[in-house]
Amino acid sequence: MAKVVTVFGATGHQGGAVVRALARDPNFKVRAVTRGDSQCDKVQNLTSCGTEVLTCNFNDVTSIKQTLIGADACFVVTYTDFSNADCMDEELKIGRNFAKACAASGVKHVLYGTQLNTLNIIGIAARHLVAKAQIQEYFMEENLPMTYILVPCYYENLFDYLKPEKIDNKSFRLAIPMGTTPLDMVCVEDIGEIAKLVFKNKEKFLNKTLSVAGDKITIKEIAATLSRYLAPTNFKDRQITLTEYRSLPYPWAKDFANMFDFFLRVDQRYNVQYTKQNYNPKMQTFSDWVQANVEKLRQEFNK
Ligand SMILES: NC(=O)c1ccc[n+]([C@@H]2O[C@H](COP(=O)([O-])OP(=O)(O)OC[C@H]3O[C@@H](n4cnc5c(N)ncnc54)[C@H](OP(=O)(O)O)[C@@H]3O)[C@@H](O)[C@H]2O)c1
């Protein structure tokens, strides 16, 4: 009988990747959960791959629990809304609700997208990371059958959070404060197959944390790869400092500056080879991903 998996954040990057991977496999039956006011095209993408779409209120434990009744497993990722000054409290509240709903429903396996606690490790708060580490503790307190996945920076951030700055029609600068330290990265779509492996092999992955990565590259290398595939457009590392990044006019600037500071100081032990050998042999390198997305990247940068 097909395994029923409830996927939260299903219209988003990670949840969407998990839905698509599970929907391709007849051994799974997917319940994709949204908050109900999601963009129509995103919901349509879910229904067109044969997925049942449910709505629920993340502020209500009973509402979350309803989407889990009869489910064999679930994928949970919590969202940081940087436009809300209290985004961390908000995420923690929702995370606690998820943990309580999972416990009340008796779901037999939970895969949660966690992060490391930058505050406990080096005393600085990247709130989107600290919240997830704290929520991991909520899940642990409920004694749930857990697996955790640590996901690094997506290549897809080049379309939004880390979009290169346009200098003129032919030149762009990457403002990512990593100096010459390589950044661990991943194609978020590749997370889907990893989640599927975890759900298929519950016993093997119970109480484990998977650190997954597709590449480890410097900002200079990112710029060189973009320049190679998007020529004659040229990309360079702007070599922005953490202090400068912190003062950028984005609601996430301070948290991201703290996150990059953390990445500069703490090796998170992501291992590309290990990920390929043990979790997904088809993990894309940054170069693979750029090659597959040349037209989309051109269109985005020329907007
Ligand atoms: N960007 C990265 O490189 C990266 C790497 C690792 C981890 N993460 C973490 O991943 C988390 C988000 O995952 P994602 O990238 O899959 O998300 P995403 O693509 O930004 O989508 C988030 C989904 O969450 C739902 N959502 C819940 N509360 C929301 C709110 N208050 N405002 C807007 N949408 C909300 C939305 O679904 P509905 O509208 O359908 O309800 C949306 O589709 C973030 O908190 C981030 O910290 C990001």
Q: Where are the beta strands (DSSP E) in the chain?
A: 3-7, 28-34, 52-55, 73-76, 110-114, 146-150, 153-154, 165-168, 171-174, 183-186, 209-211, 215-217, 234-237
* CATH 3.40.50.720 for domain 3-152+188-212+267-283: yes
pLDDT of residue 46: 81
Tell me the domain boundaries of the chain: 3-152+188-212+267-283
How far does the centroid of ligand 1 lie from the alpha carbon of residue 227, in Å? 29
Global model pTM greater than 0.95: yes
pLDDT, residue 38, reads: 67
Q: For residue 50, what pLDDT is reported?
A: 78
In this structure, the residue with its CA closest to atom 42 of ligand 1 is: 12
Give the pLDDT score at 36: 80
pLDDT at 232: 96
In this prediction, residue 303 carries a pLDDT of 81
User: Which stretches in the chain have pLDDT values below 70?
Assistant: 38
- Are 140 and 114 in contact by the 8 Å Cβ rule? The answer is no
Is the beta carbon of 154 within 6 A of some atom in ligand 1?
yes
Among candidates 112, 276, 102, 107, which has minimal Cα distance to 193? 276
Strand 165-168 with 171-174, pairing: antiparallel
Taking the CA of residue 17 as reference, the ligand 1 atom at the shortest distance is 16
**Could you read off the pLDDT of 121-155 as tens digits, one per residue?**
999 999 999 999 999 999 999 999 999 999 999 99
The per-residue pLDDT for 49 is: 77
Nearest CA to ligand 1 atom 28: 79
Whether 213 lines ligand 1, by a CB cut-off of 6 Å, is no
